[in-house]
């Protein structure tokens, strides 16, 4: 008698391989951390843009008390964060608790503050700059600002932070002292560098007391800042550093200039479509004409100092020849800038240049124009402009 048998499937010996997979979804915080790791470069750019936009919203007049307090508080906070970061780096430990969560972003905050301060200094130097050397100074400052956001630059570590911190202190004092004193002087700029060096040295001593670190020597913690001060002093002596806090608001060449209350009424022949010219940069001259140079210079409140309006003629054989300089005394406080007029009566046809300089010879602004003899005797039509 045959038995009917049924074939059964072999027993599942590897039960684990057939078990349902367990869910290993990352938490929200872990997802954020992974996202930051994948987009580290974009995060750097975002923090840079955030600092730039934040600075654009809050940046006011260079003599604004809220602005000066705002930037001073940033420098204080930056100094504290640098001390905290050095403390935990030297201890090779991470902060815990609530402070640990806040200080987790201390590196981003440090570079945010650096970016914001450098942006502000770039704006002020740009407003005060004129000429090739000042342009090169601005290009260098832009390069430092962009390099501050590069990982390669950040990997240089505390030495570059000390150098940037010293530059920020010097730039802040360089316009704070003239705003308080009411005038520009090479001694004030030198004093700003000395103050910056003293602050850097004092912070180094304070950091060493809080965080004993044999490697945090004078050479690493102070010398980079002193090198920056030496470079700034050399550039200032070479008249490369722009004359902050002064800035040229307008400069133009006109056939006539006459004060009308707080404004100046200007006369020019420039047709309306030549919007790129400031007045009569193509000056059609008759024997009785005078060349008027009108300037508007911003200066802080309670500011009183001197500038010179210098005229130069380009000789076809010997090049530029300076003819004379007219001293003017500027007073600050006006939002649109102090208004000044200088004129020249004895001139010849050809290429000319007018330069506005501080008493120590640093250029605030300049303009070039061409004088063309006008032999016509017909009546002329002048356009009026109120500035």
pLDDT at residue 286 in the model: 92
Q: What is the mean pLDDT of residues 212-218?
A: 84
Of residues 150 and 162, more confidently modeled: 162
Q: Within 10 Å of residue 144's Cβ, how many Cβ atoms?
A: 18
Domains located in the chain, CATH noted: 38-237 (no CATH), 247-386 (2.60.40.1930)
Sheet holding 291-298, edge to edge: 247-254, 291-298, 338-344
DSSP per-residue letters across 163-214: HHHHHHHHHHHHHHHHHHHTS--HHHHHHHHHHHHHHHHHHHHHHHHHS--T
Check if the beta carbon of residue 105 is closer than 8 Å to that of residue 198: no
Residue 158 to residue 378: CA distance in whole angstroms:
72
Residue 295 to residue 278: CA distance in whole angstroms:
11
pLDDT at residue 266 in the model: 94
pLDDT at residue 85 in the model: 83
Q: Select from 183, 5, 172, 207 the least CA-distant residue to 72.
A: 172
Query: pLDDT per residue over 93-102, tens digit each?
Result: 766 666 666 6
pLDDT-based confidence at 1, cuts 50/70/90? very low
Residue 25 to residue 144: CA distance in whole angstroms:
42
Check if the beta carbon of residue 248 is closer than 8 Å to that of residue 364: yes
Q: Select from 224, 207, 225 the least CA-distant residue to 216.
A: 207
Q: Is the pLDDT of residue 12 over 90?
A: no
Proportion of the chain above pLDDT 70, given as a percent: 77
Check if the beta carbon of residue 268 is closer than 8 Å to that of residue 385: yes
Q: Quick one: CA torsion of 235, 239, 240, 243, rounded to 10 degrees? A: 110
Cis preceding-peptide flag for 115 (omega within 30 of 0): no
Phi, psi dihedrals of residue 4, rounded to the nearest 5°: -85, 120
pLDDT at residue 36 in the model: 64
Task: Check the CA dihedral 330-332-334-335 and report its sign.
Answer: positive
Q: Within 10 Å of residue 131's Cβ, how many Cβ atoms?
A: 17
Residue 188 to residue 178: CA distance in whole angstroms:
7
Query: pLDDT per residue over 114-141, tens digit each?
Result: 878 888 888 888 778 776 666 777 777 7
Task: Find which of 50-54, 98-102, 113-117, 146-150 is predicted with most confidence, using mean pLDDT.
Answer: 113-117
Which residues, 6 or more positions from 238, have their beta carbon under 8 angstroms from its beta carbon? 133
Q: From residue 33, give the alpha-carbon distance in Å to each of 54, 79, 85, 87, 116.
A: 25, 27, 20, 24, 25
Q: Select from 171, 125, 181 the least CA-distant residue to 303.
A: 181
Q: From residue 9, give the alpha-carbon distance in Å to each of 2, 18, 19, 20, 319.
A: 22, 15, 18, 20, 104
Q: Is the pLDDT of residue 15 over 60?
A: no
pLDDT at residue 252 in the model: 94
Of residues 252 and 34, more confidently modeled: 252
Check if the beta carbon of residue 197 is closer than 8 Å to that of residue 221: no
Query: pLDDT per residue over 243-255, tens digit each?
Result: 889 888 899 999 9
Q: What is the mean pLDDT of residues 106-115?
A: 81
Q: Within 10 Å of residue 18's Cβ, how many Cβ atoms?
A: 7
Q: Within 10 Å of residue 333's Cβ, how many Cβ atoms?
A: 13
The pLDDT mean for the chain works out to: 82
């Amino acid at each position: 008698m045959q038995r009917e048998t049924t074939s059964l499937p072999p027993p599942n010996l590897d039960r684990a391989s057939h078990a349902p997979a367990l869910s290993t979804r990352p938490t929200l915080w872990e997802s954020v951390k992974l996202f930051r790791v994948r987009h580290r470069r974009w995060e750097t750019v975002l923090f840079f843009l955030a600092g730039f936009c934040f600075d654009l919203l809050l940046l006011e007049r260079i003599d604004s008390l809220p602005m000066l307090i705002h930037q001073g508080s940033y420098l204080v906070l930056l100094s504290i964060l640098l001390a905290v970061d050095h403390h935990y780096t030297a201890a090779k430990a991470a902060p815990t608790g609530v402070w640990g969560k806040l200080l987790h972003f201390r590196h981003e905050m440090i570079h945010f503050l650096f970016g914001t301060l450098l942006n502000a200094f770039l704006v002020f130097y740009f407003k005060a700059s004129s000429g090739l050397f000042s342009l090169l100074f601005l290009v260098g400052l832009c390069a430092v600002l962009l390099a501050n956001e590069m990982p390669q630059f950040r990997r240089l570590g505390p030495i570059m932070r000390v150098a940037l911190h010293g530059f920020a202190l010097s730039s802040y004092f360089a316009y704070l002292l003239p705003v308080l004193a009411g005038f520009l002087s090479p001694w004030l700029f030198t004093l700003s560098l000395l103050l910056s060096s003293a602050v850097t040295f004092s912070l180094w001593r304070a950091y060493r007391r809080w965080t004993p670190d044999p490697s945090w020597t004078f050479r690493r913690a102070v010398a980079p800042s002193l090198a920056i001060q030496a470079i700034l002093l050399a550039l200032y002596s070479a008249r490369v550093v722009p004359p902050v806090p002064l800035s040229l608001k307008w400069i133009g060449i006109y056939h006539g200039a006459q004060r009308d209350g707080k404004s100046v009424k200007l006369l020019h022949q420039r047709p309306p479509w030549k919007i790129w010219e400031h007045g009569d940069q193509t000056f059609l001259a008759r024997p009785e004409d005078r060349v008027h140079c009108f300037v508007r210079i911003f200066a802080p409140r309670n500011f009183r100092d001197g500038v010179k309006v210098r005229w130069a003629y380009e000789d076809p054989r010997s090049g530029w020849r300076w003819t004379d300089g007219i001293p003017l005394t500027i007073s600050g406080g006006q939002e649109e800038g102090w208004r000044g007029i200088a004129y020249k009566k004895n001139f010849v046809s050809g290429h000319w240049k007018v330069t506005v300089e501080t008493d120590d010879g640093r250029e605030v602004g300049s303009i070039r124009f061409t004088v063309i003899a006008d032999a016509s005797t017909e009546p002329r039509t002048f356009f009026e402009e109120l500035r």
